């Protein structure tokens, strides 16, 4: 009998605990002390539910930290891994998707709080978010339209930027570090982006009697240029509080240059074959249906020279989305949360003499989440793929974070 792959094996009795209770419990301490003995009630009893106590988070905060950040729309925590790498301490996190919250817990020992709008309703609610130096968020980008309205975003899902705005106005972090889809700046003929800029640069100043506003910079960067083995072009917005921003310093030019420089030097390119699990456990039902005979694709092309971009070597069916086959000598395609086709969400690759999708571990590595805990059925496989399709690439976020720290958070004593 075939054994069940470990990434499909449930490990925790989630249904016995409310996620919001776990969020409160795991946020109680500044750092996740969930796994330490000192996390006890006033009566001295351990508060950690026994089954959870056995887990060890994959990504730990550094013993010494020099700045604080919050992780909004956290997904699986790409900003958090990067922030922790550069000596940041995450003091609050929010994400409402049940499976993303589980995945986050298994990697950071903290369950994110749920709906962020519950934390922005009033000054009192906003005070439940601790003060922080950097506000991070890859905010949702669907239906981000303002057509027909001057300053409003029509679809409620598009209004989530305003949650960021409210938190920033209340807490005044030094830097806002945001991420979105590549063509975000062109969305709705640029109106969406203009509205965001207008709010951070002008409206916030008006609403705070000139006390606080931000300078907004942005650039589109590709993860392939930052030592990741997957292509992912995304827009990064860095907004610096105006009282800190130096007139001489053109952050946006720098951000552009940074992308270009990284492309040319410094960062060692990585290829997908370095992130492949040889003889990986493959779920037969889901992945083996992709096994093709050698004639089904351009077999001779499978050993193309290494390149930092996806290398297509053949197709299945009509070659539509999820039907294209790539060489592991190149990069993975941009993972997608919603894509269909036989090799939906990851694309198909020629590995170990057959064609298959990537495993969750391979997706994690390709996106810079080395050492991530993905092997559990607590998060169903399709949800895992969806999470990677929504996520930032750690390498890029970390590179920008390191520069944010260098320029705007140099001395912890200044906080
Ligand atoms: C584009 S993804 C960001 C993923 C994240 N940057 C990462 O690295 O994994 C947006 C996330 O926002 C979450 N989200 C949407 N609305 C939310 C809300 N009102 N409160 C909390 N999370 C929300 C979604 O569930 C989704 O995971």
* Residue 4, φ and ψ in degrees, nearest 5: -80, 130
Let me know if 363 is a catalytic residue: no
Q: What is the pLDDT of residue 59?
A: 92
Q: How far is the CA of 258 from the centre of ligand 1 (A)?
A: 27
Q: Whose CA is nearest to atom 6 of ligand 1?
A: 138
Task: Give the atom of ligand 1 at the shortest distance from the alpha carbon of 387.
Answer: 9
The pLDDT of residue 145 is: 42
Q: Which of 90, 136, 141, 363 is catalytic?
A: 141
Q: Which domains does the chain have, with CATH numbers?
A: 6-269+392-414 (3.40.50.150), 278-358 (3.90.120.10)
The alpha carbon of 91 and the centre of ligand 1 are apart by a number of angstroms equal to 17
- The answer to whether residues 227 and 395 touch, using CB atoms and an 8 Å cutoff, is yes
Residue 336's contacts (CB-CB under 8 Å, 6 or more residues apart) are 321, 344, 345, 389
What's residue 149's pLDDT?
Answer: 45
pTM, rounded to two decimals: 0.90
- State which ligand 1 atom lies nearest to the alpha carbon of 100: 27
Residues 6+ apart with CB under 8 A from 156: none
Confidence at residue 267, expressed as pLDDT on a 0 to 100 scale: 82
CA of 40 to the centre of ligand 1 (A): 31
Q: What pLDDT sits at residue 242?
A: 92
Taking a C-beta distance cutoff of 8 angstroms, is the pair 389, 335 a contact?
Answer: yes
The token pair that represents 350 in the structure block: 């020629």
What pLDDT tens digit does each residue of the chain (415 aa) get? 345 555 556 677 787 788 888 888 777 754 444 444 334 455 555 566 666 766 778 898 888 889 999 999 999 999 999 999 999 999 999 999 999 999 998 899 889 999 999 999 999 999 999 999 999 999 986 544 444 344 445 554 457 899 999 999 999 999 999 999 998 888 878 888 898 999 999 999 999 999 999 999 999 999 999 999 999 999 999 999 999 886 656 677 777 777 777 776 668 899 999 999 987 776 654 454 555 555 555 655 667 899 999 999 888 777 788 888 899 999 999 999 887 777 888 998 988 877 888 999 999 999 999 999 887 778 888 899 999 999 999 999 999 999 899 888 876 554 4
Q: Which of 140, 178, 180, 236 to mutate to test the pocket of ligand 1 (most atoms within 8 A of CB)?
A: 140
Instruction: Pick the atom of ligand 1 nearest to 117's CA.
Output: 19
Q: What is the 3-state secondary structure (H, E, C) of 98-147?
A: HHHHHHHHHHHCCCCECCHHHHCCCHHHHCCCCCCCEEEECCCCCCCCCC
Continuous segment of H or E residues that includes residue 44:
none
75 CA to centre of ligand 1 in angstroms: 5
Q: Which atom of ligand 1 is the closest one to the Cα of 75? A: 9
The Cα–Cα gap between 69 and 292 comes to 47
Please list every protein residue whose CB sits less than 6 Å from any atom of ligand 1.
73-76, 78, 94-97, 100, 115-117, 138, 140, 160, 390-392
């Amino acid at each position: 009998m075939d054994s069940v792959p470990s990434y499909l094996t449930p490990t925790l009795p989630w249904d016995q605990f409310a996620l919001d209770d776990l969020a409160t419990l795991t946020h109680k301490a500044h750092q996740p002390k969930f796994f330490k003995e000192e996390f006890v009630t006033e009566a001295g009893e351990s508060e950690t539910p026994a089954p959870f106590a056995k887990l060890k988070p994959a990504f730990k905060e550094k013993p010494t930290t020099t700045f604080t950040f919050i992780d909004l729309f956290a997904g699986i925590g790409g900003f958090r891994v990067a922030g922790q790498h550069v000596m940041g301490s995450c003091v609050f996190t929010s994400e409402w998707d049940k499976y993303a919250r589980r995945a986050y817990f298994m990697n950071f020992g903290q369950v994110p709080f749920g709906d962020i709008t519950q934390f922005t309703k009033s000054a009192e609610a906003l005070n439940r978010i601790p003060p922080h130096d950097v506000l991070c968020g890859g905010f949702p980008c669907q239906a981000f339209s303002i057509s027909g309205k001057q300053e409003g975003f029509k679809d409620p899902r598009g209004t989530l930027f305003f949650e960021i705005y409210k938190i920033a106005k209340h807490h005044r972090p030094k830097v806002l570090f945001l991420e979105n889809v590549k063509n975000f700046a062109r969305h709705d003929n640029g109106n969406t982006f203009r509205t965001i800029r207008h709010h951070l640069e002008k409206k916030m100043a008006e609403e705070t009697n000139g006390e606080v506003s931000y300078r907004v910079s942005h650039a589109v960067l590709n993860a392939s240029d930052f030592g990741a083995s997957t292509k992912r072009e995304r827009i990064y917005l860095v907004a610096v509080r105006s009282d800190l921003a130096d007139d001489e310093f053109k952050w946006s030019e720098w951000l552009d240059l940074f992308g270009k420089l990284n492309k040319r030097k410094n960062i060692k390119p990585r290829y997908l074959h370095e992130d492949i699990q040889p003889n990986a456990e493959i779920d037969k039902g889901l992945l083996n249906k992709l096994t093709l005979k050698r004639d089904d694709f351009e077999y001779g092309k499978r050993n193309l020279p290494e390149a930092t971009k996806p290398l297509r070597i053949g197709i299945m069916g009509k070659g539509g989305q999820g039907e294209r086959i790539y060489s592991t000598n190149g990069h993975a395609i941009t993972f997608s949360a919603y894509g269909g086709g036989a090799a939906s969400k990851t694309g198909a690759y020629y590995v170990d003499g057959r064609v298959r999708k990537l495993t969750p571990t391979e997706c994690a590595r390709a996106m810079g989440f080395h050492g991530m805990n993905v092997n559990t059925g607590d998060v169903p496989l399709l949800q895992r793929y969806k999470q990677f399709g929504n996520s930032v690439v750690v390498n890029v976020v970390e590179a920008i974070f390191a520069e944010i720290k260098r320029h705007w958070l140099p001395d912890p004593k200044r906080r």
